[in-house]
A and B are shown apart, each in its own frame.
Chain A
């Protein structure tokens, strides 16, 4: 557990997380106000959400206090930099890319692109491309033909 004091005010990841949590809890609480708390038949759909989000607001305030005073997580210490950061971001980028193109290109091409983005972090392109293509084709055949689970396809049917 990291108990070091953060040097920069904006570098305390715990405080930022606490603020995001507080915004989320407050939003849920505000939304729950539009749901009935008690009806003629008994407790309404708003009762449980109001209590839960209200408690979450209190917890997030406690967490903010704790993050600022006691357990400081410096963003610079816990998040990667340089190549490690790009390796991590490549997962995010590859899935986003898959989602963007899959309905247009079909699963085989989108899957190949997704895998290629990740494989190219550790292999040369001439190794990464065939591995990505073969894996995508095999998975397409397995899901589409063996399990009969329909996957997105292009005009050629793959």
Chain B
């Protein structure tokens, strides 16, 4: 690890204004994590236009804070009202809510907060250790390797997200074709613009994300417009003495599981949470306790989904590849602020990268404080009725879309994508691939075109490049196993649309 770089990063992150933006980011993250109907993807997209006037480092510190803050916040509603604030906390309902009904909500929230802090902090440490070395390795990549990497990312997204490969493919290729609208990145020719000036620059990722994830969620939420359940009392925070050791072990296992899953592009924070729950249940001396209020059933998954977050930033920082929709939005924010995530980021902008990493350590401390002594305050936020919440989310979302380019065009595009997202959700077509491939398309096309030129038209020469061959071989195997799993109907275990 580059300790000098990390220290310089801390010096940057500890300036009062960056501390303030970090605090704003994690608070907004907690807020959207607690509130159903507004996830971290929409919230990150919403705040991007408001960061245009900021320093890139302050802007990204704030936006990253929303991402990992959302993971903490989702736990509160899972435990107190049996409704996950975001997808990764869905499994926490299994034991968190029974604990709350036993008057032990405080215990569930405190082990989740401590586990999240440990998992989150260790994974950021892992990010600081692995990312520079991986970035140095990735500097050897040429266009064929990047094209193979894009194929790998695409296959992972299709293979791991959603319950059907065909439906995953639909979403992925919709994202790719939508990204073709506008100016061709290689020749500069206009494509699919139909003479419409609004289409020259293509669709904006912020608008698309707010429509697909924000408006579609509102449409579905309005279908089931009911008052929020009254949150359970928080109660005492300390677990029983005999629960301490099993909880500590489940936090340790969750940390490792979350970190390893986060390194794989195409996964989501829901996957390590589900795997951790299943692992804890198997390792338990008394598995029948699970589902009835087992503390390990909260500690393991909550640690795993927070540990996932730091690791999931490794592909973004080192290869420029987003592994989830929120990270795709972050990638968009990097580009809007004139930064290109990828192998050269550590070389060209070391203070920036290390500043972001350092701020995440600090943000986790903020979140621990917010979740332990202030858990009761967040419980009150969870009690806001949806009939009041949804109209407020809608007007803020519409304003956010309007501010992208100060025009109603973006509001209309957002609404159209909201309707598209609504139908996709109803038809069980995953939303995440559309956003990920939309972001990757330009790099994918450029690297393909450059490879074709390099190989003088014969793309089969890509198999002469060892790194490309390895990545294409892994992609093939993942696709093959996904098809086999689908045929055997096992994919539904990891199914479900995953936002964060």
Binding site for B on A (CB under 8 A): 1-2, 13-14, 17, 21, 24-25, 28, 31-32, 35-36, 39, 41-45, 47-49, 52-53, 55-56, 59-60, 62-63, 66, 71, 73, 78-80, 84-85, 87-88, 90-92, 94-96, 98-99, 102-103, 111, 114-115, 118-119, 121-123, 131-132, 135-136, 139, 143, 147, 149-151
Shortest 10 CB-CB contacts between residues of A and residues of B: A122-B387, A118-B391, A45-B189, A45-B184, A87-B222, A56-B173, A42-B453, A84-B223, A80-B223, A115-B391
Q: Is the CB of A92 within 8 A of B419?
A: yes
The reply on B218 being an interface residue by CB < 8 A is: yes
Q: Is the CB of B399 within 8 A of A139?
A: yes
Q: Can you add 13 more A-B contacts, CB < 8 Å, to A13-B427, A49-B192?
A: A17-B427, A24-B177, A35-B189, A59-B166, A60-B170, A90-B222, A91-B222, A92-B219, A98-B398, A115-B391, A119-B391, A135-B392, A149-B403
> Bound complex: CA of A119 vs CA of B403, how far in Å?
24
In the assembled complex, which residues on chain B have CB atoms less than 8 Å from the CB atom of A115? 391-392, 394-395
Question: Smallest CB–CB gap between B75 and chain A, Å?
Answer: 27
In the assembled complex, which residues on chain B have CB atoms less than 8 Å from the CB atom of A149? 49-50, 403, 406
The reply on B415 being an interface residue by CB < 8 A is: yes
The reply on B245 being an interface residue by CB < 8 A is: no
The reply on B390 being an interface residue by CB < 8 A is: yes
The reply on B104 being an interface residue by CB < 8 A is: no
- Closest B-chain residue to A103, C-beta based? B408
In the assembled complex, which residues on chain B have CB atoms less than 8 Å from the CB atom of A66? 164, 166
The reply on B282 being an interface residue by CB < 8 A is: no
Q: Given that A59-B166, A96-B415 are known contacts, is A91 also in contact with B394, CB under 8 Å in the complex?
A: yes
Q: Given that A42-B452, A136-B395, A143-B399 are known contacts, is A118 also in contact with B167, CB under 8 Å in the complex?
A: no
Q: Given that A91-B215, A114-B394, A143-B403 are known contacts, is A52 also in contact with B388, CB under 8 Å in the complex?
A: no
Chain B residues 109 to 154 lying within 8 A of chain A, measured CB to CB, are: none
In the assembled complex, which residues on chain B have CB atoms less than 8 Å from the CB atom of A31? 192
> Bound complex: CA of A139 vs CA of B50, how far in Å?
14
Q: Is the CB of A35 within 8 A of B166?
A: no
Mind listing 6 A-B residue pairs with CB under 8 Å? Answer: A21-B170, A39-B187, A56-B170, A66-B166, A118-B394, A149-B50
Binding site for A on B (CB under 8 A): 49-50, 163-164, 166-167, 169-170, 173-174, 176-177, 180, 184, 186-187, 189, 191-192, 215, 218-220, 222-225, 385, 387-388, 390-392, 394-396, 398-399, 402-403, 406, 408, 411-412, 415, 418-419, 423, 426-428, 445, 448-449, 452-453, 492, 495
Q: Contacting A14 at CB < 8 Å: which of B224, B392, B427? A: B427
Q: Is the CB of A91 within 8 A of B218?
A: yes
Q: Is the CB of B395 within 8 A of A59?
A: no
> Bound complex: CA of A73 vs CA of B164, how far in Å?
14
Question: Smallest CB–CB gap between A77 and chain B, Å?
Answer: 10
- Closest A-chain residue to B169, C-beta based? A59
Q: Is the CB of B398 within 8 A of A45?
A: no
Q: Contacting B222 at CB < 8 Å: which of A28, A73, A121? A: A121
Q: Contacting B492 at CB < 8 Å: which of A1, A63, A92? A: A1
Q: Is the CB of A52 within 8 A of B411?
A: no
Q: Is the CB of A121 within 8 A of B387?
A: yes
Q: Is the CB of B394 within 8 A of A43?
A: no
In the assembled complex, which residues on chain A have CB atoms less than 8 Å from the CB atom of B167? 63
Q: Is the CB of B449 within 8 A of A122?
A: no
> Bound complex: CA of A90 vs CA of B423, how far in Å?
16
| Interface of chain A, main secondary structure | helix
In the assembled complex, which residues on chain A have CB atoms less than 8 Å from the CB atom of B387? 119, 121-123
Q: Contacting B180 at CB < 8 Å: which of A52, A62, A79, A88? A: A52
In the assembled complex, which residues on chain B have CB atoms less than 8 Å from the CB atom of A32? 191
Q: Given that A45-B186, A63-B166, A63-B167 are known contacts, is A73 also in contact with B428, CB under 8 Å in the complex?
A: yes
> Bound complex: CA of A139 vs CA of B418, how far in Å?
22
Question: Smallest CB–CB gap between B170 and chain A, Å?
Answer: 6
Q: Is the CB of A56 within 8 A of B177?
A: yes
- Closest B-chain residue to A140, C-beta based? B399
Question: Smallest CB–CB gap between B479 and chain A, Å?
Answer: 14
- Closest A-chain residue to B179, C-beta based? A52
> Bound complex: CA of A121 vs CA of B166, how far in Å?
38
Q: Contacting A55 at CB < 8 Å: which of B163, B173, B222, B415? A: B173
> Bound complex: CA of A118 vs CA of B397, how far in Å?
14
Q: Is the CB of B222 within 8 A of A111?
A: no
Q: Is the CB of A17 within 8 A of B423?
A: yes
Question: Smallest CB–CB gap between B161 and chain A, Å?
Answer: 15
Q: Is the CB of A118 within 8 A of B428?
A: no
> Bound complex: CA of A90 vs CA of B218, how far in Å?
11
Question: Smallest CB–CB gap between B280 and chain A, Å?
Answer: 26
Q: Is the CB of B391 within 8 A of A87?
A: no
> Bound complex: CA of A84 vs CA of B174, how far in Å?
29
- Chain B CB within 10 A, most for which of A45, A56, A88: A45
- Chain B CB within 10 A, most for which of A47, A48, A59, A79: A48
Q: Is the CB of A135 within 8 A of B222?
A: no
> Bound complex: CA of A78 vs CA of B169, how far in Å?
22
Question: Smallest CB–CB gap between A23 and chain B, Å?
Answer: 13
Q: Is the CB of A62 within 8 A of B225?
A: no
Q: Is the CB of A53 within 8 A of B177?
A: yes
In the assembled complex, which residues on chain B have CB atoms less than 8 Å from the CB atom of A2? 428
In the assembled complex, which residues on chain B have CB atoms less than 8 Å from the CB atom of A139? 395-396, 399
Q: Contacting B191 at CB < 8 Å: which of A49, A78, A98? A: A49
In the assembled complex, which residues on chain A have CB atoms less than 8 Å from the CB atom of B495? 1
